[in-house]
Amino acid sequence: MNRTGFSYDFPHASLVSIGDLNPLDVRMIFERARVHFDSNRAGVRAERTLDGATLINLFFENSTRTLASFEIAAKRLGAHVINFSAGSASISKGESLEDTALNLAAMRPDIQVVRHSAAGAAAHFARVTGVSTVNAGDGAHEHPTQALLDAFTLTRRWGEVGGRRILIVGDILHSRVARSNVALLNMLHADVRLCGPATLLPEDADRWGVQVFHDLEAALEGCDAVMALRVQRERMSGGLIPSDREYRTLYGLDHGRMEHAKPDCLVMHPGPMNRGVEIDGALADDRERAVILEQVEAGVAVRMAVLELISAASPNQRYDDRTKGGAQS
């Protein structure tokens, strides 16, 4: 499907930040994601809108579900998919990030999906190569497709997220998921709350257009959905929480704590989960409340929508002359 087949001319050839989007863009992504979600669930073969295109997954950080989700999404649209991991990349042999980007662009992929520990890495790849780029997570900065799939999951349940009260609890400080979700949910006029210990909240969190809490039970009052975040010890330079046991006591979600939220409050988690730390296993497995696997299912549909929309918005000649002379064997 080319851009004439869509009800709206999606203007973005890349997606590196939620801030790149407006509400109309988001509505278009959700409209296409809904088509793909229903088709995937029905086992109907998707339109091969990326037939013959080449997508490179550049994952400089380990990932299971995000990498698989992008790969499945691209293949269902007919694209050829190549996966590069940190261990196989030349950057592990001393090559600069820019040289890696230019060499891969010289192979003329149509889309590159970038995951990297450095904030701004995806934007850098997009800028120096001119290749359509999707940010699959850059440091503690952003993870835009995760936010889109989270909001899409809630939209399927409610119709709209506007006016709903949504709590994000946990390690906000190191969470790119939280940053992208706050930006998107604010854009969609949700009532957003953040909760966590002071050591795991950014100093400027009160300026994000949200309410900030340190008491989880108070934060849960009147909530329609709550999203638990993983404690990211690998990103901590020091002991920001005393122990997993104390963290669970103060900030872990379980059925007892959920009594403070609305009776039909939904439970979310972007994964991977630390069961028994930020969320109790029984609550995570409670299909009446938890929509965690539905988030994963929605991820494929949302990424299919994003890939086909940015592809339709891309210029035919994606390889930029700026790369000439920069590529070496």
Judged by DSSP in three states, 82 sits in: strand
8 A C-beta contact, residue 270 and residue 229: yes
Tens digits of residue pLDDT in 272-324: 999 999 999 999 999 999 999 999 999 999 999 999 999 988 764 443 444 44
Task: Report the Cα–Cα distance between both ends of the chain, in Å, rounded.
Answer: 35
pLDDT of residue 236: 57
Alpha carbon 244 to its chain's center: 26
Q: How much of the chain exceeds pLDDT 70, in percent? A: 88
8 A C-beta contact, residue 322 and residue 89: no
111-116 and 132-138 beta bridge pairing: parallel
Tens digits of residue pLDDT in 202-218: 999 989 999 999 999 99
Going by C-alpha positions, the residue among 216, 218, 139 that lies closest to residue 179 is 139
8 A C-beta contact, residue 166 and residue 225: yes
Tens digits of residue pLDDT in 154-181: 999 999 999 999 999 999 998 999 999 9
pLDDT of residue 86: 64
pLDDT of residue 308: 95
Cis peptide before 242 (omega within 30 of 0): no
Kindly report the length of the chain: 329
H or E segment and range at residue 28: helix 23-42
Q: Please name every residue paired with 269 in a beta bridge, in sequence order, or none if there are none.
A: none
Which residues, in sequence order, are CB contacts of 38 under 8 Å at separation 6+? 44
Residue 5: pLDDT band (50, 70, 90) is low
